Structure 1
Amino acid sequence: MSATMIKEFRLPDLGEGLTESEILSWKVAVGDTVTLNQVIAEVETAKAVVELPSPFAGTVAALHEQAGSVVEVGKPIVSFEVDDAGDSPSGGSDAGTPGASDSEGASDFEKALAKREPNLVGYGAVVEKSGRPARRQRNFDGGVTEHEPVNEPLAEQPVQVPVAVPSEPTAEQERPRSTPPVRKLARDLGIDLEMVKGTGSGGLITRSDVQEFAAVDQRQVSVSAVTPAPAPIYAGVPGERETRTPIKGVRKFTAAAMVQSAFTAPHVTEFLTVDVTPTMELLTRLKTSREFAGYKLTPLTLAAKAVLISLRRNPSLNSRWDDAAQEIVQFNYVNLGIAAATPRGLTVPNIKDADKMTLLELSTALSELTDTARSGRTSPADLAGGTISITNIGVFGIDAGTPILNPGEAAIVALGSVRKAPWVHNDELAVRQVMSLSLAFDHRLVDGEQGSKFLADLGAILSDPAAVMTMI
């Protein structure tokens, strides 16, 4: 009869130095038998909802946190009872498993995999065997645990975030605790970290701490000004005069990012109202064509294509400001962000290499992006790396606005609603379909002339799609 042992799974860093995550739901219960990589929970980071796979095959022994709890990275969230026999996930022999890289019958893939360190998604770089004894490392509670040898089965290695705890104070410990990206952000904003109070684990200063301090210190405005609107009165308890909703997850991250963007990039907003009747007529023809049968075509689809064409003539709007290197970085590709309102707050996933897509491909990508965002399944990768964004405020019946730039981007286009209005057409007054376009851009990167030309090109395409023939 094989022996069993208890293995703890600690909440890993799900990307970009995030310090905490909320457990939305458990997919398993105590006593359940799980397999390797089976989804055991859904957690929400500051950027997206992520499914956590099980790093072990065994039985769930304990759930240390309840659904709805906000847990710091490195804290135990679940324990498993696993079979210790043979050190294999299934409790059998090692033959044929990634840990048995020298066993007969093991594939080349398994042999290569046995040399890799596990992380949350996939595996890290190949680790060569050195023949030296396993190093000891400190755990999150200050205790000492044995580091698993790299050639043991991957399923037996819990995903942990190592934190070095020196035995004696050092000069590094005397300064405020923060990560290198956070220290760089503080330097960029001219903030002394000695003045910032850390809200992370053990007083760690987080990116959000720096951004909120910058908002208050540099512009003397309260961060509460960017908190979400209060819930409708019917959402509260009868008789109560107000409803309070904790600011966390995606909404907390979005608020901090918008504060940083508003107080870092000098925004300029321009407006243009155009007659989009020809574009709406084109949309009707395309919907009834054989090529687009079964595909979802909307005014956003054609407007997105028009934005991509306009960028070819005005590439300065597809760039970012690298303050550390004191350089302007112009992108030779377009990752088109689409602002999406979700139950958990505003997100801006982006379509990678949208400039290389046909109208049909762009239509498919937009449908998939919006469906995924509304269901809360957008991955962190889809939220990162955007180069320019579109926000479609027209779906809410709004004509124009002054959108805030997505951090790290040079421009954002707001599409207003399409309305019938009196318009001078062919020197006569007629009822036409018109739309207001709003363009906000970073004046460090984009001059007024460049922004105006881009907006004019965009308006020209939407008012006469045939104008594309003269632009490309």
Structure 2
Amino acid sequence: MTAVEQRFREFKMPDVGEGLTEAEILKWFVAPGDTVTDGQVVCEVETAKAAVELPIPFDGVVHELRFDEGTTVDVGTPIISVDTDPGAGEAAPQTAPAAGEAVAEAPAAAPESEEKEGRQANLVGYGAAPASTKRRPRKPLPSAQRSAPTPSAAAPAPQAPAPAPAPARPEAAPELNGSGRPARPLAKPPVRKLAKDLGIDLETVTPSGADGIITREDVHAAAEAVQAARETPVAAPATAAQGRERRVPVKGVRKATAQAMVNSAFTAPHVTEFVTVDVTRTMKLVSELKQDPELAGLRVNPLLLVAKALLVAIRRNPDINATWDEGNQEIVYKDYVNLGIAAATPRGLIVPNIKDADAKTLPELASALGELVGTAREGRTSPAEMSGGTITITNVGVFGIDAGTPIINPGESAILAFGAVKLQPWVHKGEVKPRQVTTLALSFDHRLVDGELGSKVLADVAAVLERPKRLITWA
């Protein structure tokens, strides 16, 4: 590593998820010139799973932010450079020469014969430059020699008679391709490396430097044009609806959710069963638990008891807690329950899960559920909190929906939908009375969960919610 590379450190976009390939820069917390320290959060990015804050791993002064907010960047691409030795004075990073700046190396003095032939120095990697009548400027002469006339390069030697003047030869043009541009784009090695890193074909870049040389700015402009073309929606034909529609690129959490749902729907054969149940006793228990000092300050609601009821049903029917391993053609039964809770957020639907939910007491489950929902609404759910789920609950009742056919979360075997609790006429003890009623829907993967197992699990959940004392007797 050179001294310049040691001084100017680059921080690359990390893989903050499980094998993710890109992330969108949501917000920068620093600007060029700001001092940063090891572990300081410099930006927030959104992956296909969650929004994550990125800390810088070294000290220094921010030299350059490589991408603007809202840009999607591939994992492994440098996003920020830091001057780790700002007290050393002005210096430019080795990988970022100024636009159009000539190579700093001073060429050695050319032999006299080379000067007579009109050859000129060329950039490394371009091959020999064509002959030209132009000469390299000479260094200033000492004052003692300035008064003496100096023959020009075109003048004959003193001892030779002057030849007849010949018309000046025009400078030979570089070899051109069919489009009228140089057959090989002219660019310095650092610029070629930059283009390679950004995936830009130099053949497509319009040069702005002297003599048709492509500069760093030209490459960056080409990269920005490519990125803008990817993100700009294709203009729709002029219609009466124009101006009344808006288009939003599908990316981040919503893109990942869409792909996961498509994969699940067309990979796992879904079966959905429904049951309507009287949950009057459960709703009464929720009211009582809210007054319990042991649960003071915790999130106590019907969803908490639905989660507990599902955990009891899984304990009675453990084969529902499994996954299908297509590669090894095996069913993997799990002796732990990571209970997923589908949560709607401004960035889309996410499914964080409560690790080892089956081992938690009711107060512990209430606390974990409250933290999970709060973190999701703030957009701070980490990828680790969304990985490893085994079974999921989706609470569609909060939107006033009675029931639905939920799609199984990829890698799981079942998902329970909890509908709205409504006051309805119900036959209770031989009489029609108003009761609190809800509908439950269980979707399961029919490759490993047959109708009997799925029905038993759904029936057990309904039984617990109808008579919540079973939380004790069945536990």
TM-score range, shorter chain: 0.5 to 0.7
Q: Distance in 1 between matches of 2:381 and 2:296?
A: 27
Deviation at 1:16, TM superposition (A): 2.3
Q: 1:294 to 1:15 in 2, by over 3 A?
A: closer
Q: Distance in 2 between matches of 1:17 and 1:457?
A: 38
Q: Distance in 1 between matches of 2:300 and 2:472?
A: 22
After TM superposition, list the pairs within 5 Å mapping 1:347-386 onto structure 2.
347-386=350-389
Partner residue of 1:335?
Answer: 338
In structure 1, the gaps of 5 or more residues are 87-138, 144-159, 161-200, 202-237
**Secondary structure of the residue that 2:7 maps to in structure 1?**
strand
After TM superposition, list the pairs within 5 Å mapping 1:5-20 onto structure 2.
5-20=7-22
Partner residue of 1:32?
Answer: 34
| Residue deviations 1:373-423 (CA, integer Å, cap 9, x gap) | 111100010000000000000000000000000001000000000000000
Partner residue of 1:69?
Answer: 71
CA RMSD of aligned residues (A): 2.4
Q: Distance in 1 between matches of 2:426 and 2:17?
A: 51
Q: Distance in 2 between matches of 1:74 and 1:283?
A: 50
Partner letter of residue 436 of structure 1? Answer: T
Q: Distance in 2 between matches of 1:9 and 1:294?
A: 42
Deviation at 1:74, TM superposition (A): 2.1
Deviation at 1:85, TM superposition (A): 9.5
Query: Percent of aligned positions with the same letter in both sequences?
Result: 61
| Residue deviations 1:57-94 (CA, integer Å, cap 9, x gap) | 000011110111111122221110112999xxxxxxxx
| Residue number among 421, 424, 427 corresponding to 1:424 in the alignment | 427
After TM superposition, list the pairs within 5 Å mapping 1:433-444 onto structure 2.
433-444=436-447
Partner letter of residue 42 of structure 1? Answer: E
Deviation at 1:323, TM superposition (A): 1.1
**Secondary structure of the residue that 1:281 maps to in structure 2?**
helix
1:318 aligned onto 2:321: yes
In structure 2, the gaps of 5 or more residues are 89-189, 198-222, 224-240
| Residue number among 261, 264, 276 corresponding to 1:258 in the alignment | 261
Q: 1:273 to 1:357 in 2, by over 3 A?
A: same
Q: Return the TM-score normalized by structure 1.
A: 0.67
1:287 aligned onto 2:280: no
Q: Distance in 1 between matches of 2:451 and 2:193?
A: 56
Deviation at 1:471, TM superposition (A): 2.3
**Secondary structure of the residue that 1:316 maps to in structure 2?**
helix
**Secondary structure of the residue that 1:337 maps to in structure 2?**
strand
Partner residue of 1:52?
Answer: 54
| Residue deviations 1:6-38 (CA, integer Å, cap 9, x gap) | 112221222322111100000101110000010
Deviation at 1:239, TM superposition (A): 6.9
| Residue deviations 1:257-309 (CA, integer Å, cap 9, x gap) | 00000000000000000000000011111111221122220100011011001
Partner letter of residue 307 of structure 1? Answer: L
Deviation at 1:372, TM superposition (A): 0.4
Q: Distance in 1 between matches of 2:296 and 2:9?
A: 53
**Secondary structure of the residue that 2:39 maps to in structure 1?**
coil
Partner letter of residue 41 of structure 1? Answer: C
Q: Return the TM-score normalized by structure 2.
A: 0.66
After TM superposition, list the pairs within 5 Å mapping 1:55-454 onto structure 2.
55-83=57-85, 240-454=243-457
Q: Distance in 1 between matches of 2:397 and 2:305?
A: 14
The question of whether the paired residues in 1 share the 8 Å contact of 2:17 and 2:49 is answered with: no
How many residue pairs are counted as aligned between the two chains? 327
**Secondary structure of the residue that 1:80 maps to in structure 2?**
strand
Larger Rg: 2
Partner letter of residue 44 of structure 1? Answer: E
Q: Distance in 2 between matches of 1:13 and 1:453?
A: 41
Q: Distance in 2 between matches of 1:295 and 1:12?
A: 36
